[in-house]
C-alpha cells in the first residue's frame, strides 16, 4: 500500500496546521482518527502536545487501555481523566452525544486553560460531515479545532496514512461508546455497561473484531458483518457464546440476521414504519 500524492500533500498540510498552533491539547480516545491526530501533533509540536483520554463508565475498558499504552509508546504527555456518567444522559436521551460532548469538551477547555493551552484538537474527519453526528455541534460551539477535517482527510485516507506510519490502529474497526448499545430512554446503570463491555470483549476474543452487543434487558442481540454471521452460528462457537452471555445474566441470546449497521437502535420500530 502506497500513499497517493494527494494524501502526502494532505498530511503535510495537517502537520503545518498543527505546527502553527505551537501548543495543543488532543482529545485522545485511542481510535483510528485520534491516533493519527496524536501522532501528527507529536511530530509537529513535540513537547507542546498534551493528550487527554477520558475514562467513563461507558468507555470500553480495552480501548482506554490501548489509548494509555499508545500514548506511552509515543512519549507524549498524557492524562487519563476518570469521569462519572453525566446526570443529563442518565436516561440515554436521543441527544446524548451532544450532551456528552458538551460535558467532556468543557472539561478539556478547563484543563487547557489551566495549562495555558489555547487550542483543543479533535479527530473529526471529512466523512463525519455526511453522518448524523450531533456531537459535532458541541465541538463547534466550544471552538474545538478539527485538523484532520481541515486537511480534507477521509476515513480511508486516515487508515492509509496510519498504515504508512506503522500505527497499530490502521485497520481497527470503528468504535462507539457503550451507550449506543442501549435503546434511547433506558436507565443507564454502570452494572449494565460493564456487562455489555464484558460480552463484547469476549466476542472480540473469539475473532469477531467488528461486533456490537445491543442490550435489551434479558435479550442480548449480536450484530456482526454479514460475512461473519455463519462463523458465529457454527455449533461449537454458538454454544460458547450462548453460555458466556447467559453467565453474564442474559436470558436470551440472538444474532441479528440483518447484520451490523451503525445506529441500529435509532431505527424505527416495525409499528412506526410506513406500509
State the pLDDT at residue 267. Answer: 54
Residue 272 has pLDDT above 80, yes or no: no
pLDDT tens, residue by residue, 183-242: 999 999 999 999 999 999 999 999 999 999 999 999 999 999 999 999 999 999 999 999
Going from the N-terminus, what domains does the chain have, and what CATH number goes with each?
5-164 (3.40.50.620), 189-272 (3.30.70)
Residue 56 has pLDDT above 80, yes or no: yes
As a whole number, mean pLDDT of residues 24-50 equals 97
State the pLDDT at residue 129. Answer: 85
State the pLDDT at residue 134. Answer: 73
User: What's the whole-number average pLDDT of the chain?
Assistant: 92
pLDDT tens, residue by residue, 250-261: 999 999 999 987
Pairing verdict, β 252-255 and 119-121 = unpaired
Tell how far CA 50 is from the center of its chain. Answer: 19
Would you give the DSSP letter of residue 272?
G
Residue 273 has pLDDT above 50, yes or no: no
Question: What share of the chain has pLDDT > 70, as a percent?
Answer: 94
pLDDT tens, residue by residue, 41-50: 999 999 999 9
Burial 120-142 (b: 16+ CB within 10 A, else e): bbbbbbbbbeeeebebbebbeeb
Residue 270 has pLDDT above 70, yes or no: no
As a whole number, mean pLDDT of residues 56-82 equals 96
Residue 274 has pLDDT above 60, yes or no: no
Q: What is the spatial order of strands in the sheet that 219-223 belongs to?
A: 212-216, 219-223, 252-255
Residue with the bigger pLDDT between 267 and 14: it is 14
State the pLDDT at residue 135. Answer: 75
Angular region, 223: left φ>0, alpha ψ -120 to 50, beta rest: beta
Residue 65 has pLDDT above 60, yes or no: yes
pTM here?
A: 0.90
Q: Tell me the pLDDT band of 265, cut-offs 50, 70 and 90.
A: low
- Count the neighbouring beta carbons within 10 Å of the beta carbon of residue 243: 11
pLDDT tens, residue by residue, 142-185: 999 999 999 999 999 999 999 999 999 999 988 889 999 999 99
Task: Report how far residue 210's alpha carbon sits from residue 232's, in angstroms, rounded to the nearest whole number.
Answer: 12
State the pLDDT at residue 132. Answer: 61
Burial 49-72 (b: 16+ CB within 10 A, else e): bbbbbbebbbbbeebbebbbebbe
Cβ-contact 133, 157 below 8 angstroms: no
How buried is 42 (Cβ within 10 angstroms: 0-12 exposed, 13-18 middle, 19+ buried)? buried
Amino acid at each position: 500500500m502506497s500513499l497517493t500524492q494527494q494524501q502526502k500533500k494532505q498530511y503535510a498540510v495537517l502537520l503545518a496546521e498543527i505546527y502553527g498552533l505551537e501548543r495543543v491539547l488532543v482529545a485522545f480516545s485511542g481510535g483510528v482518527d485520534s491516533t493519527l491526530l496524536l501522532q501528527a501533533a507529536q511530530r509537529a509540536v513535540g513537547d507542546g502536545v498534551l493528550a487527554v483520554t477520558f475514562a467513563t463508565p461507558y468507555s470500553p475498558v480495552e480501548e482506554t487501555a490501548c489509548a494509555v499504552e499508545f500514548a506511552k509508546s509515543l512519549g507524549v504527555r498524557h492524562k487519563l481523566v476518570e469521569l462519572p456518567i453525566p446526570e443529563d444522559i442518565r436516561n440515554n436521551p436521543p441527544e446524548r452525544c451532544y450532551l456528552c460532548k458538551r460535558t467532556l469538551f468543557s472539561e478539556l477547555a478547563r484543563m487547557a486553560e489551566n495549562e495555558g493551552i489555547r487550542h483543543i484538537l479533535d479527530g473529526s474527519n471529512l466523512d463525519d460531515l455526511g453522518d448524523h453526528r450531533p456531537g459535532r455541534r458541541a465541538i463547534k460551539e466550544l471552538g474545538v479545532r478539527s485538523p484532520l477535517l481541515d486537511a480534507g482527510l477521509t476515513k480511508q485516507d486516515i487508515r492509509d496514512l496510519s498504515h504508512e506510519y506503522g500505527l497499530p490502529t490502521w485497520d481497527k474497526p470503528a468504535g462507539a461508546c457503550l451507550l449506543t448499545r442501549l435503546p434511547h430512554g433506558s436507565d443507564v446503570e454502570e452494572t449494565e455497561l460493564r456487562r455489555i463491555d464484558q460480552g463484547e470483549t469476549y466476542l472480540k476474543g473469539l475473532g469477531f473484531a467488528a461486533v456490537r452487543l445491543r442490550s435489551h434487558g434479558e435479550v442480548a442481540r449480536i450484530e456482526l458483518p454479514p460475512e461473519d454471521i455463519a462463523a458465529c452460528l457454527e455449533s461449537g462457537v454458538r454454544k460458547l457464546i450462548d453460555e458466556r452471555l447467559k453467565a453474564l445474566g442474559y436470558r436470551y441470546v440472538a444474532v441479528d440476521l440483518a447484520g451490523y449497521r451503525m445506529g441500529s437502535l435509532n431505527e424505527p420500530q416495525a409499528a412506526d414504519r410506513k406500509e
